[in-house]
């Protein structure tokens, strides 16, 4: 990709932490919404799988 002009940048850890802290907890919101529909266990499993895939 570099040959095609794509530039990759790294972010300092402090910036990553600040960015993560500023974002809502989408997974928690998803689980809460699914629990209200009786699908909390499936939602938790989905998030567990997601976390394994993106490691």
Give the pLDDT confidence of 7-36 residue by residue, as tens digits.
988 889 999 899 989 999 999 999 999 999
- Provide CB contacts within 8 A for 1, sequence distance 6+: 8
Sorting pLDDT into bands at 50, 70 and 90, what band is 55? confident
Q: With contact defined as beta carbons under 8 Å apart, do 44 and 27 qualify? A: no
């Amino acid at each position: 990709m570099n040959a095609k002009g794509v530039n990759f940048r790294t972010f300092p850890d402090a910036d990553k932490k600040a960015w993560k802290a500023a974002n809502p907890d989408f997974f928690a919101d998803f689980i809460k919404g699914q629990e209200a529909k009786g699908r909390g266990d499936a939602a938790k499993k989905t998030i567990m799988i997601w976390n394994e895939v993106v490691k």
